Structure 1
Amino acid sequence: MNNSALSRHGLDRRRAQLRELQRYLQAQEQEFFELHGHLRAFVDRYVATLGSSYLELDALESQLHTATQYLAEALRRNGISARTPRAPQATALPTIPFLPTAPPLPAEPAAGVIDLPPPSLKTLYRRAAMRLHPDFADNENERQRREQAMMLVNEAYASENRTRLEALLLAAGEDPLKVTGGNADALHEWLSRCENSVQGRLRVVQAHRVALEAHPMHQLWLAISRAEKLGLDPFQVMVQRLRSQIAERRQELYIGQRLQPEPGLAEDFLRRRIERMGASLGVDSA
């Protein structure tokens, strides 16, 4: 009896399930893109408000490091043991990850009920050889890959393992209709591949959603949004703190560029700088 006719109801049900899964994936992607858009707007606002101050602070830190290097070298030339402070790390302006583009679904087999008998094992072997033979390789890496694949094909053919041979052909991109015969089996295989593809994409979207919600900028966005709803201005507080740090670094740079390489003040200045740079990196300065 024709397997395609028997499977018609099952195929229709699987198609409906696939469409429902695709709609769910589309909703999940839409939620991700909406969240990503909100966070992207917040990051742009963050950079526009604080970016120039961070750049100015980084420039001062770099100048201060150069001054302390000169001072430490001069102290050592005078016979005084002096360590050079750690180099400052430039402030990394925030970035947020993008969702990679989804791969296309496998092409659907020919429409309609097609009654094709399954090809013989020898036919399958010949098709596998046409697709995977090393002589068709474009480069050495491709040749090695094909040699490995043909070893598996030869083993499957020698052991008359039709299931394994079919799987190798499908993995190589062969049309399922030409591998398993009748259209129903080919459609079942296509639906399975589509379902796996959509489910894989769904896992990728959900993983990126979790990563986005765990991103430090997402946490900051939520905190600032809550504060602004209470009438507070967190960004202004952050700007003031940065301006205060900039003023401190300017004063420190002014002193560092004018200190003489002598015991006492110069050594104390370097010690404080080393302690601060160690603290800023979260390490022991000793």
Structure 2
Amino acid sequence: MPAEIILQQTPDAAALFDKREQLAAVRTMLAEREAELAQIRAQLKTFEGRYLRQVGVLYAELDELEARIAEREVALYDSESARRRAEETRQRAQETRDAAFGEAREAEEFDPPPSLKTLFRDVAKRIHPDFARDEEELKHFTLLMARANQAYSRGDTEMLQRLLDDHREIHASIAGEGAAAEVLRIGRQIRHAERDIAALDAERAALLSGDIAQLHLDAETAAREHRDLLTELATSLLEQVADARRRFELIDRQISAHGR
């Protein structure tokens, strides 16, 4: 009777197999979380752009008119309370204008400093997909590189530095060779991936609890009722702007009548 040869994995080899399975699973989960968060960001960004174009600019116009009215009231009444109100309304008008128009200006003015460029290059030299050793690492490096590009476009030095530090820690030398050492290296990768998943979940929760997300939710509810919430808000603001213009013209006439 022929003898059967039974191949058994060593404990280290079995542990390495399990760790690789865990790493593949956690990286898949990380990629899914990244994709989900990217979709949420894109949806809210698109909605915020529409909000700023339809509603934000009208808030800015209204607050500017209110500030001008308050400033004219100083000339008419010349009181401490009038001056204080003029300062407050002017500050609010500036804040509203910055909110409505500031983002586009910041995008136009984005000029990354040399330190950010150097940091980005250091990161790219380590995690660029071209340097991947296998298909699994190629997918992971592609994900990391996308994150690095987003951080660079935002001027997010902290995120870029974290990507660099993570890479250095994961690939720091571990005493010994073979399966046992590889298990330790993969363990580091798993811990970093799990930490990144937790960070993405926290960012998702923060985004969905923000004002824009709530307004987006309200707009979706209105849409199911065949209403356009942003158009309704804009219509209401147009009426308020028209009223503010009338009040500004009235106070202007009062000042002229008093010869001021």
Q: Same fold (TM over 0.5)?
A: yes
- 1:12 counterpart residue number: 17
Report the Cα distance in structure 2 between the residues aligned to 1:172 and 1:194, rounded to whole angstroms. 6
1:93 aligns with 2:100: yes
Q: How does 1:10-89 map to 2 (within 5 A)?
A: 10-73=15-78, 83-84=82-83, 85=85, 86-88=87-89, 89=92
* TM-superposition CA deviations, 1:155-183 (whole Å, max 9, x none): xxxxxxxxxxxxxxx9697411xxx2233
1:258 aligns with 2:258: no
1:248 aligns with 2:253: no
Report the Cα distance in structure 1 between the residues aligned to 2:75 and 2:249, rounded to whole angstroms. 14
1:197 aligns with 2:192: yes
Using the TM superposition, name which of 238-247 and 82-91 deviates more: 82-91
CA gap 1:244/1:15 in 2 versus in 1, 3 angstroms:
same
Query: What amino acid is the match of 1:60?
Result: L
Partner residue of 1:219 out of 177, 194, 214? 214
Query: What amino acid is the match of 1:249?
Result: A
- Give yes or no for contact 2:170–2:188 (8 Å, CA) kept in 1: no
1:175 aligns with 2:180: no
Report the Cα distance in structure 2 between the residues aligned to 1:181 and 1:82, rounded to whole angstroms. 76
Could you state the TM-score of these two structures normalised by the residue count of structure 2? 0.60
- Give yes or no for contact 1:67–1:256 (8 Å, CA) kept in 2: yes
Larger CA Rg, structure 1 vs 2: 1
Report the Cα distance in structure 1 between the residues aligned to 2:255 and 2:63, rounded to whole angstroms. 25
Could you state the TM-score of these two structures normalised by the residue count of structure 1? 0.55
Q: Which runs of 5+ in 2 are unaligned?
A: 1-8, 104-119, 128-132, 134-167
Q: How does 1:102-251 map to 2 (within 5 A)?
A: 174-176=172-174, 180-251=175-246
Give the aligned CA root-mean-square deviation in angstroms.
3.5
SS in 2 for 1:181: coil
* TM-superposition CA deviations, 1:99-155 (whole Å, max 9, x none): xx99978xxxx9xxxxxxxxxxxxxxxxxxxxxxxxxxxxxxxxxxxxxxxxxxxxx
Q: Which runs of 5+ in 1 are unaligned?
A: 96-100, 111-169, 262-286
- Give yes or no for contact 2:62–2:240 (8 Å, CA) kept in 1: yes
CA gap 1:8/1:55 in 2 versus in 1, 3 angstroms:
same
Query: What amino acid is the match of 1:31?
Result: E
CA gap 1:194/1:171 in 2 versus in 1, 3 angstroms:
closer
Report the Cα distance in structure 1 between the residues aligned to 2:233 and 2:247, rounded to whole angstroms. 21
| Percent sequence identity over aligned pairs | 22
- Give yes or no for contact 2:66–2:244 (8 Å, CA) kept in 1: yes
CA gap 1:27/1:55 in 2 versus in 1, 3 angstroms:
same
Report the Cα distance in structure 2 between the residues aligned to 1:18 and 1:172, rounded to whole angstroms. 13
Report the Cα distance in structure 2 between the residues aligned to 1:82 and 1:45, rounded to whole angstroms. 37
CA gap 1:171/1:198 in 2 versus in 1, 3 angstroms:
closer
- Give yes or no for contact 1:65–1:87 (8 Å, CA) kept in 2: no
Report the Cα distance in structure 2 between the residues aligned to 1:68 and 1:185, rounded to whole angstroms. 78
Q: How many residues align?
A: 184
The alpha-carbon deviation at position 38 of structure 1 amounts to 1.7
